[in-house]
Structure 1
Amino acid sequence: MNVLIAGGTGFIGRHLVQSMVQKQNHVYVLTRSHQNPNHSPYLHYITWFTHDEQIFEALPPIDAVINLAGEPINKGRWTRKKKTKIRDSRKQSTQKLLQFMQSSAIKPKVFINASAIGIYGNSNDQEFTERSAPQKNSFPARVCTMWEQEAIQAEQIGIRTVMARIGIVLGKDGGALPRMIMPYKLFAGGRVASGKQWLSWIHIYDLTQLFDYIIHQEAIEGPINMTAPNPVQMDTMGKKIGENLRRPHWFPVPSWILKIIFGEMNEILTEGQKVIPDKALKHGFEFHYSECGQALRQIFREDTNKG
Structure 2
Amino acid sequence: MKIVIAGGSGFIGQKLTNFLIEKGHEIVILTRTAQKPLQNVTYVKWLSEGSSPEKEISHADVFINFAGVSINKGRWDKKHQKQIYESRMRATKELIRIIRELDERPGVLINASAIGIYPASNQAVYTENSDEIADDFLGRTVHDWEKQAKQAEAAGLRAVFLRFGVVLGVEGGALPLMVLPYKLFAGGTVGTGEQWVSWVHVDDVIRVILFAIENQQIHGPVNVTAPAPVRMADFGKTIGSVLHRPHWLPVPSFAMKCVLGEKSALVLEGQHVVPEILRREGFQFTFPVLRQALEDLLL
**Partner secondary structure for residue 181 of structure 1:** helix
For structure 1, which segment, 259-268 or 25-34, has the greater mean C-alpha deviation from structure 2 after superposition? 25-34
* 1:279 counterpart residue number: 277
Write the letter of the residue equivalent to 1:6: A
Matched, 1:30 2:30: yes
TM-score by length of 1: 0.95
Q: Where does residue 14 of structure 2 map in the other structure?
A: 14
| Change over 3 Å in CA distance of 1:80–1:66 after alignment to 2 | same
Judge conservation of contact 2:225–2:274 (CA < 8 Å) in 1: yes
Determine if contact 1:134/1:141 at 8 Å carries over to the other structure. no
Are the counterparts in 2 of residues 163 and 222 from structure 1 also a CA contact under 8 Å?
yes
Q: Measure, in 2, the Cα distance between the counterparts of 1:276 and 1:131.
A: 11
Match of 2:260 in 1: 262
User: In the alignment, which residue of structure 2 is the partner of 1:251?
Assistant: 249
Cα shift at 1:134: 3.7
Task: After TM superposition, give the deviation of residue 54 of structure 1 in Å.
Answer: 2.8
Q: Is the 8 A contact 1:48 1:55 kept in 2?
A: yes
CA distance in structure 2 between the aligned counterparts of 1:160 and 1:191, rounded to whole angstroms: 42
Q: C-alpha distance in 1, partners of 2:120/2:178? A: 20
2:57 corresponds in structure 1 to 59
Q: Pick one of 79, 95, 106 that aligns with 1:81.
A: 79
Correspondence list, 1:94-133, <5 A: 94-133=92-131
* Correspondences of 1:126-275 after superposition (within 5 Å): 126-275=124-273
| Mapped contact 2:120–2:134 kept (Cα < 8 A) | no
Question: What SS class does the counterpart of residue 262 from structure 2 fall into?
Answer: helix
Residues paired across the two proteins, number:
299
Task: Specify every segment of 5 or more residues in structure 2 that has no aligned partner in the other structure, as ranges.
Answer: none
Q: Quote the Cα distance in structure 2 between the aligned partners of 1:231 and 1:295.
A: 12
> Could you state the TM-score of these two structures normalised by the residue count of structure 2?
0.97
Residues 71-122 of structure 1, C-alpha deviations (whole Å, 9 max, x = no match): 1112111111111111100000000000011111111100011110000021
